[in-house]
Amino acid sequence: MNADIADTKEKHFNGRGVGVGVGIGKSVVIDIESAEVEPNSISEKDVETHKKKFSKANKGLTEELELLAKELTDKSTREIIEAQLQIIQDPEIEKSVSAIIEEKLLTVEYAIYSTYCKFIERLKESGSELFKQRIVDLEDIRDRLIAIVCNHTHKHPVKKGDVVVAKDISPTELVAFYEKGMAGLVMEKGGPTSHAAIIAKSLGLPCVVSVKKATKNIDAGEQLILDSESGMLICHPDKETLKSYRKKQKDRLKLSARKCREVFETKDGHPYQLLANIEFEAELPKVAEHGARGIGLLRTESLLFGSRIRKGQEDQEVFYSHILEGTEGPVTIRLFDVGGDKTTTRASKEDNPFLGWRGIRLLLDEKQLLQNQLKAILKVSGKYPGRIKVLVPMVSVMDEVDSIKKELEEAREAVTSEGYAVDEGIQLGLMVEVPSVAISARKFAREVDFLSIGTNDLTQYTMAVDRGNERISALFQHYHPSVLQLIKTTQEGATEEGADLSVCGELAGDPVGVAFLIGAGISDLSMLPHSIPEIADLLSSFTKKEFEAFAESALNSSSDKQVKELFEKSFCQK
């Protein structure tokens, strides 16, 4: 904490901005520690009473979540609630709780605590980032069930216009507070890819994470401003600061309300394409609402981890068909991008999961899973010729490219032998996520139809920073010149071989990042739907030459800080 203005109470805190726009409001501080539960004994005559308490609590929480899901105005968040419902209704959890009560003669609250802690430890050991993001869900459900059986309830008086300040927040709480009209979210924990941060983005909610000791340094009822673009949190703003940010907030609302352009062009007429990153069918209305020209990244992991597991071909065909029916333009389907964890047929604990069995490495071992997905995609492609692209995650060596091409051909032969028509021109592309592919982009581009840069993982592997580790989150620098140089190298390689190139990582929806990408010669960008109006406004306000000059200067910079300063000078002071 540092006070920037000596003669006022105004205080500035630094964090990481991951949401959208500016939030202004009174603080509601949530600082509740999860208390450990002692293993207290019960008598045999109390077993049924404790089991009934658990059943009643489980039923009550289920009904509460089902009601919340029905009342949600933002449909894209329903999958979040369904994920928690799936956890609550997991028969393994009920079986474990009952066994602890019956066999060990321990209280229901300890049975709940012990069971959920066991599941949490499993997820901590998992190599899947998606599973790690479920930990906060499990902790939230655990604590809420314990509170119910112990008749302890925590009511947070969040009302419209409040800014919530918390150490962490569960998806359920975030959605509930959003429905009440919260103005913004401040968290001590989490990085830009944490579960809560991703949800805040999808809701269009101003959010700043990684604000150290926020719950200790901010009192309830204080006036706050959070700027999700700069990651700045301001407490007790003076009149001039408040006036400036209210104007910024008003300008942002005007931008969001502006109708999407018929044509995406820079100020001097150079075209570009803005597409959407989505995962759920419920997100399709936002794709159309914000004017996306197609789906640049369709994540498919929800088929494995959602409220209903849909590994089979037929279920996948239905999902892909609904996506194609509900949108126009190209749809790039990324193959399952998961790690070596208990969701697959091979369970293995890895010392270095981010450098381990994930993406294409897993898929080439799990042939049935891969073939089912490829066959489902190919069957749907015949109904929508020219629209589907297949994207392969986590490629690092050429042997993997050769293998996936053989797998695709095998799936094609199987599908056509069954009498299905397939799109003979279906495009195959690779995710550029590791430096080995970026450095040799020309060789990889020669073997496929397109490349798509995943800037989140490319940054992680270039900077040697676990993007989920909040302790070193400041080193996760999207704008670092080393990362930008690898992007430029990829662009040059793809151009030389005549392969299409797009960017589907977080950098594509970031003003600084997109200014560099356009300047570096990459015109196909895919992002969260709500980012499209702001990005279109920026790109249409300046010329291609201005972006090219910025990109050249950024590549010659020595730090991400310099890149940000260059952006401010080039595009924010004109």
Could you report the per-residue pLDDT of 411-451, keeping only the tens digit for each? 999 999 999 999 999 999 999 999 999 999 999 999 999 99
- In 3D space, the residue among 172, 15, 19 whose CA is nearest the CA of residue 528 turns out to be 19
| Catalytic residue (choose from 50, 195, 290, 480) | 195
Q: Is 156 a catalytic residue?
A: no
| Alpha-carbon torsion angle 145, 148, 151, 157, nearest 10 | 100
Sign of CA dihedral 515, 517, 518, 524: negative
Q: Give the pLDDT mean for 544-567.
A: 96
Please say if the pLDDT value at position 16 is more than 50: yes
What pLDDT, on a 0 to 100 scale, did the predictor assign at position 86?
79
What pLDDT, on a 0 to 100 scale, did the predictor assign at position 120?
84
DSSP label at 290?
A: T
| Catalytic residue (choose from 235, 478, 480, 504) | 504
Beta-bridged to residue 151, according to DSSP, are none
More confident residue, 51 or 174: 51
pLDDT band for position 257 (50/70/90)?
A: very low
- In 3D space, the residue among 425, 451, 421 whose CA is nearest the CA of residue 438 turns out to be 451
Whole-number Å distance between alpha carbons of 382 and 412: 11
Spatial contact of 192 and 477, defined as CB atoms under 8 Å apart: no
More confident residue, 386 or 139: 386
HSE of 82 in the Cβ direction (CA atoms, 13 Å)?
Answer: 15
pLDDT band for position 280 (50/70/90)?
A: confident
Please say if the pLDDT value at position 75 is more than 90: no
Q: How far apart are the first and last CA of the chain?
A: 32
Q: Give the pLDDT mean for 187-215.
A: 79
- Kindly state the helix (H) or strand (E) to which residue 234 belongs, with its residue range: strand 232-235
What pLDDT, on a 0 to 100 scale, did the predictor assign at position 237?
92
- Global pTM reads 0.64
pLDDT band for position 533 (50/70/90)?
A: confident
More confident residue, 399 or 159: 399
pLDDT in tens, 287-307: 888 889 999 999 998 787 544
Sign of CA dihedral 247, 253, 257, 258: positive
Sign of CA dihedral 514, 517, 518, 519: positive
Spatial contact of 379 and 420, defined as CB atoms under 8 Å apart: yes
Whole-number Å distance between alpha carbons of 191 and 511: 19
Name the CA radius of gyration of the chain, rounded: 25
DSSP label at 336?
A: P
pLDDT band for position 70 (50/70/90)?
A: low
Whole-number Å distance between alpha carbons of 145 and 140: 9
pLDDT band for position 513 (50/70/90)?
A: very high
pLDDT band for position 169 (50/70/90)?
A: confident
What pLDDT, on a 0 to 100 scale, did the predictor assign at position 23?
92
HSE of 417 in the Cβ direction (CA atoms, 13 Å)?
Answer: 7
What pLDDT, on a 0 to 100 scale, did the predictor assign at position 228?
87
Question: How high does pLDDT run on average in the chain?
Answer: 85
Q: 């496929």: which residue's tokens?
A: 448
Please say if the pLDDT value at position 20 is more than 90: no
Whole-number Å distance between alpha carbons of 351 and 338: 16
Which residues are CB-contacts of 9 (< 8 A; sequence separation ≥ 6)? 3, 235, 236
Spatial contact of 84 and 137, defined as CB atoms under 8 Å apart: yes
Please say if the pLDDT value at position 229 is more than 50: yes
What pLDDT, on a 0 to 100 scale, did the predictor assign at position 342?
32
Please say if the pLDDT value at position 560 is more than 70: yes
Whole-number Å distance between alpha carbons of 18 and 473: 13
Q: Is 504 a catalytic residue?
A: yes
More confident residue, 143 or 412: 412
| pLDDT more than 70, % of the chain | 84
Other residues' Cβ atoms within 10 Å of the Cβ of residue 386 = 11
Spatial contact of 173 and 140, defined as CB atoms under 8 Å apart: yes
